């Protein structure tokens, strides 16, 4: 009998109305790169259990790293419920369902990878990013294997085994007029689809191609956002606007716009928890609800919002299967209280290669990465971001030079309505402390630039 099942059996003997037990057993391999060499290699094992109880419609929770202490943990949660305010809107924890199997979310090779093998992958990332014009290389490789289990008093029992791998390289150069940098990043679920060499090449090329940047003379122009920068906007500006809680509290820039046009006709945004190799892909969410593909924007029309059970019940709706207990650096955790979030926020591919989009651009810039991206006025959709390196100035369909640092202060609703091209180059994007996304390049028109 698993730790979760023992916890549920004990909760039943205590007469608790509903109880949910979550356990996660994880192996985390981290290779840290500093000063162009491997500075640290470590493997950690962890096992945790979280408890959420609902008694007299009062919700309380507790968690522990000592699995045999589940009885004490449940007792603590029950005691906390005595001082918790009742939630009369609460309905029920999920019930048993037939789990679907997904492809491309588990790899035995990643589960069994050794520290030495992981270090070889990281070294390959370093080697492929080296260039005489690059002074310093830094970054990290993270590999996670986990077993996530969830049980509750409604006879739900779910177990999921998953693996994840993510690598990032930052290349810095002091060659030329000012210091510049470049980034390479990749993430997926299986070793065979992970290219350490491509990460290094991407960082090297962005850095070297950013040397000796020129002042951008455009005050307003077309901007081609490459996948990594698109993912930044999706994660830190756009995604929360589809949260049922945010939408219901009229804090979304799309509030009251269901079934209305919010983007160009060929723009399609979905939450895709079934995408092979997607970092957020899973067959059930983190409270045991079956996941499903949700169209958020379909052919430019705002179609849906997402939610966990708690916030759905509060609005007299049903959960969309979007409860998250996010783990670090990837995967799931045993946090006792989930939050609503997207699994894989994905923009569907368009018809153009990046080269075709560049050739079709008369006056514009290409942006490879963004920094300091945040919502300035979330209700209106205003946001700010900074492009520091990876900027290319485009004139008459050709890249003329690298560009100096710029700031973009724009509105996400205006951006969506002025997309003029969508690339066919979608890739997994995973920034630090953000939800995963799957993004192609996009070009938007009429974006104002401020040189820093």
The reported pLDDT for the residue numbered 120 is 98
Q: Which tokens in the block code for residue 173?
A: 């150069």
Q: Which tokens in the block code for residue 343?
A: 């699994």
Instruction: Name the DSSP letter for residue 356.
Output: H
CA distances from residue 231 to 85, 383, 425, 441 in whole angstroms, order as listed: 39, 14, 13, 10
Strand ranges of the sheet holding 371-377, from the earlier edge strand across to the other edge:
371-377, 382-387, 406-411, 450-451
Residue 438 to residue 429: CA distance in whole angstroms: 6
E strand map for 211-362: 220-225, 269-271, 294-298, 301-302, 323-324, 339-340, 345-347
Nearest to 442 by CA among 427, 420, 413: 420
**Which positions ≥6 away from 180 have C-beta within 8 Å?**
172, 173, 207, 210, 211, 213, 389, 402
Residues 260 and 301: beta-carbon distance below 8 Å: yes
Entry pTM = 0.95
Q: How confident is the model at residue 197 (pLDDT cuts 50, 70, 90)?
A: very high
Residue-wise pLDDT for 363-373, tens only, equals 999 999 999 99
Instruction: Give the residue extent of every domain in the chain.
Output: 3-208, 220-451
Residue 402 to residue 412: CA distance in whole angstroms: 26
Residues 341 and 335: beta-carbon distance below 8 Å: no
Q: Is 125 a residue whose pLDDT tops 90?
A: yes
Nearest to 77 by CA among 49, 53, 50: 53
**Which positions ≥6 away from 311 have C-beta within 8 Å?**
243, 244, 245, 248, 340
Q: What is the mean pLDDT of residues 59-84?
A: 91
The reported pLDDT for the residue numbered 82 is 86
Residue 151 to residue 66: CA distance in whole angstroms: 18
Residue 409 to residue 372: CA distance in whole angstroms: 11
The reported pLDDT for the residue numbered 432 is 76
The reported pLDDT for the residue numbered 194 is 97
Q: Which tokens in the block code for residue 137?
A: 């290389």
Residue 198 to residue 227: CA distance in whole angstroms: 15
Query: Which CATH code fits 3-208?
Result: 3.30.2290.10
Q: How confident is the model at residue 451 (pLDDT cuts 50, 70, 90)?
A: confident
Backbone torsion region of residue 34, taken as left when φ is above 0, otherwise alpha when ψ lies between -120 and 50, otherwise beta: beta
Q: What is the Rg, in whole angstroms, of the alpha carbon atoms belonging to the chain?
A: 23
């Amino acid at each position: 009998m698993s730790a979760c099942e023992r916890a549920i059996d004990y909760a039943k003997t205590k007469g608790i109305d509903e109880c949910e037990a979550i356990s996660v057993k994880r192996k985390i391999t981290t290779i840290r790169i500093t000063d162009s060499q491997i500075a640290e290699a470590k493997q950690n094992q962890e096992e945790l259990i979280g408890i959420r109880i609902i008694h007299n419609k009062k919700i309380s929770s507790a968690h522990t790293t000592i699995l045999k202490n589940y009885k004490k943990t449940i007792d603590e949660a029950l005691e906390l419920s005595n001082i918790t305010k009742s939630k009369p809107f609460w309905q029920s924890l999920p019930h048993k369902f037939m789990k679907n199997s997904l492809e491309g979310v588990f790899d035995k090779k990643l589960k069994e990878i050794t520290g030495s093998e992981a270090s070889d992958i990281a070294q390959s990332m370093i080697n492929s990013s080296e260039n005489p014009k690059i002074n310093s290389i830094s970054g990290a490789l993270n590999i996670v294997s986990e077993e996530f289990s969830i049980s509750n008093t409604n006879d739900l029992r779910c177990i999921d085994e998953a693996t994840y791998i993510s690598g990032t390289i930052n290349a810095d150069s002091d060659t030329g007029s000012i210091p510049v940098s470049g980034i390479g990043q990749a993430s997926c679920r299986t070793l065979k689809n992970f290219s350490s060499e491509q990460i290094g090449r991407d960082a090297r090329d962005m850095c070297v191609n950013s040397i000796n940047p020129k002042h951008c003379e455009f005050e307003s122009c077309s901007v081609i956002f490459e996948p990594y920068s698109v993912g930044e906007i999706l994660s830190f500006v756009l995604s929360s606007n589809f949260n049922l809680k945010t939408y219901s509290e009229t804090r979304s820039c799309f509030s009251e716009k269901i079934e209305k046009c919010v983007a160009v006709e060929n723009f399609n945004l979905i939450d895709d928890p079934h995408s092979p190799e997607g970092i957020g892909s899973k067959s059930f969410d983190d409270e045991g609800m079956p996941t499903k593909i949700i169209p958020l924007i379909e052919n430019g029309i705002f179609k849906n919002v997402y939610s966990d059970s708690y916030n759905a019940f509060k609005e007299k709706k049903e959960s969309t299967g979007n409860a998250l207990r996010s783990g670090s650096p990837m995967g799931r955790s045993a946090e006792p209280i989930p939050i609503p979030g997207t699994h894989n926020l994905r923009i569907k591919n368009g018809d153009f290669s990046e080269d075709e989009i560049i050739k079709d651009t008369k006056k514009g810039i290409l942006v490879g990465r963004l920094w300091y991206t945040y919502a300035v006025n979330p209700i209106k959709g205003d946001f700010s971001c900074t492009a520091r390196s990876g900027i290319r100035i485009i004139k008459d369909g050709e890249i003329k030079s690298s560009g100096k640092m710029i700031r973009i202060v724009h509105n996400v609703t205006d951006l969506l309505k002025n997309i003029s091209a969508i690339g066919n180059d979608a890739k997994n994007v995973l920034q630090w402390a953000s939800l995963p996304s799957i993004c192609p390049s996009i070009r938007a028109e009429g974006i104002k630039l401020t040189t820093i």
